[in-house]
Amino acid sequence: MEIQYERIGMTDLDAMADIYATYLNAGDTIRDYVEAGMKNKDFVGYKALDHGKIVGVLSGRSGIDFTYPHPELAERLRQKFPEEKIYTPDALVVLDEYRGHPLAFELGRLLIQEVHQKGYEYLLTELWIYPNGHIPAEHVVSTWGTEVYREDIDGFYRELEKYHMECPVCGTHCSCGARILVMKTDGQIHIREGEKENEL
C-alpha cells in the first residue's frame, strides 16, 4: 500500500459523484450538488490514492451547508457564528478495505490547514447517526479543533425523499439522525494522548 494525496479537481467530478451516491446519499440531484460544491469559490478537497485509485476523500464548501436545507438550524448557527467565518467539510469517505489506515486524519490535516489559511475560524460538521446509534468518523472530526457547539437531532434526514435523495442505510425513508458540531480551528489537527491515527 502506497498512499499519495492530491487536490480534488473538476476532472474528479464523476468519481466524486459516485462516491457520494455509494457512501453518502444517492439520487438524481447528487451530481449537481457535488458539482456546485466543487465550483464553490472556496472549495477545498483532497483525495487519497493507492496506485492511482481513489481510496479516500475529504472536501468542503464555504458557509453553512447541510445535506438538504434546515432553515431554522441554519439561522440559529448564523446567530452564534458569523457565516463568513464558518466552513462546512461535507464529505469524508474512506473505502472499507482502507479502514485502519491513518489516511482520514491526513486528509483532515490537509483540508483544515488550507481552510484556516483562507481565513475560516469555524468548521461545521453534520455527523450521521445511524439508527443503532453509531456515529461514523466522530473521533476523526473531534481532532479538528475545539468543540464550541453540539446538537443531536433525531430524524434529521426524514425529508430526503422530498429532495430526491436516498440514504444508503435506510433507503428512501431515512430514520438516521445527525450530530451537528461546530469546531473552532487553529489550522491543525489534535490527536489526544492515547489515541491513534488508525481508524475511521
Separation of alpha carbons 181 and 176, rounded Å: 16
Q: How far is CA 144 from CA 33, 68, 82, 83, 196, in A?
A: 25, 24, 19, 18, 14
The pLDDT of residue 193 is 55
pLDDT band at 197 (very low <50, low <70, confident <90, very high): very low
The pLDDT of residue 54 is 92
What is the rounded average pLDDT for all residues in the chain?
A: 89
Residue 23 is classified by DSSP as I
Separation of alpha carbons 65 and 144, rounded Å: 18
Poorest-confidence range of 13-17, 41-45, 192-196?
192-196
The pLDDT of residue 20 is 82
Choose between 148 and 17: higher pLDDT. 148
The pLDDT of residue 88 is 94
For the entire predicted model, the pTM comes to: 0.88
Q: Give 52-73 pLDDT, tens digit per residue.
A: 999 999 999 999 999 889 999 9
Poorest-confidence range of 7-11, 106-110, 188-192?
188-192
Please name which of 192, 189, 88 lies closest in space to residue 144, comparing C-alpha atoms: 189
**pLDDT surpasses 90 at 7:** yes
Separation of alpha carbons 25 and 172, rounded Å: 10
Residue 143 is classified by DSSP as G
pLDDT above 70 covers a percentage of the chain that reads 96
**pLDDT surpasses 50 at 97:** yes
Mean pLDDT of 145-162: 93
The pLDDT of residue 198 is 46
The pLDDT of residue 90 is 85
Single-letter residue type at 156: F
Q: What's the chain's Rg over C-alpha atoms?
A: 16
pLDDT band at 199 (very low <50, low <70, confident <90, very high): very low
Mean pLDDT of 165-176: 86
The pLDDT of residue 184 is 96
